[in-house]
Structure 1
C-alpha cells in the first residue's frame, strides 16, 4: 500500500519515532515543490511530524517550531524544507510582506502549521493532513481529500 493510501485511511502512531518514520516515508514520495498543510490543535504533533519530514528530506539540523520566526529554512540533501507556523498571521498582506515566494527555490517542500490562518494563500494542490491525539496519547495522521 502506498504512503498516500495509508494516510488516506489514517495512521495512529504511539511514539515520536513512529511519527518520524511515517513522515520520512512521505518525504520520499513527495513530488518536487510540495506544500503540506498541517491541520490540528496545539500539541498534536505537527512539529514532530515536520522533524521526521526533515530527516526524510536529508536535513541534519535540529528542527524546532518556527513560531516566533514565522518560517525557518532547512537545506536538505536535494530539497529545501520551509517550515512555517502561520498561527500569528492575520491576513494575506502579512504573507506578502514575508516574501516567502522568494525562498521557494525549486525543489522545495513547504510545511505549514495552522494553514487555516492563511487558507486563501495555500495552493490548490497542497496536501492537507489532519493531525490529532487520542485520549491515550497516541497520535493520528490522516490525509484529507
Structure 2
C-alpha cells in the first residue's frame, strides 16, 4: 500500500506540475492496479504458510524477491522482447498487471500486451492455493 500511495502521489504531482499527461484510460489503469494488488495478496497467501514450515525459505524470501524483480515487468515492456520469447514474461501475473497499467497510462503508444481473462484465472488459482496452504499450516502455528 505504501508503494501504491507513493506512486499515486508522484503521478498526481507530475500531472499537476505538467511533467506528465493524465492517464489515457482510467479503467484499464485501475484494473491493472487492482490485479497487481490481488497478485500481491495471493503471493503473500502462498509465501506466509511456506515460511512458517521452512526456516530456510523464511531466510531466503527477501533474496528471492529481489531476484524476481527483473521478471516483474516493471523495467521492460513485453513489446521489446522478441515475439517467440514473450510467453515467458506473459506467464507472470505481475507482468500482465504492469502491462495493463502501462496501457492505461500511455494508451496505444505503449503497445501493451495483456490478457485480462488469463490474469483473472491465474490470480484466482493462486489465491486458492494460498488459502489451501494457509488452512493446512494452521495446526503448526503456536502462539507463545
TM, length-normalised to structure 1:
0.28
Q: Name whichever structure is richer in helix by fraction.
A: 2
Q: Higher strand proportion, which one?
A: 1
